[in-house]
């Protein structure tokens, strides 16, 4: 399993593949990605 920093990087990449004007329209998918990033950062202690 990838370490947390790699997971965070992957999630950011996924998020930024979504055009900015469509990120909010996606709603729950974008929110889920952001929540995953936040959770990983908290576990990491940032």
- pLDDT tens profile 3-46: 888 988 888 888 787 776 766 666 777 788 888 888 988 887 75
d(C-alpha 42, C-alpha 18), whole Å:
24
pTM over 0.75: no
pLDDT at 46: 52
**Which domain covers residue 16, as residue numbers?**
4-44
C-alpha dist (Å) from residue 5 to 1, 24, 43, 46: 11, 25, 11, 11
pLDDT score recorded for residue 16? 80
pLDDT in the model for residue 34? 83
Instruction: Note the pLDDT of residue 23.
Output: 60
Domain count along the chain:
1
Which residues are CB-contacts of 43 (< 8 A; sequence separation ≥ 6)? 4
């Amino acid at each position: 399993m990838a370490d947390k920093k790699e997971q965070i990087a992957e999630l950011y990449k996924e998020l930024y593949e979504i055009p900015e004007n469509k990120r909010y329209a996606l709603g729950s998918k974008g929110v889920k990605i952001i929540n995953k990033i936040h959770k990983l950062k908290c576990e990491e202690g940032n």
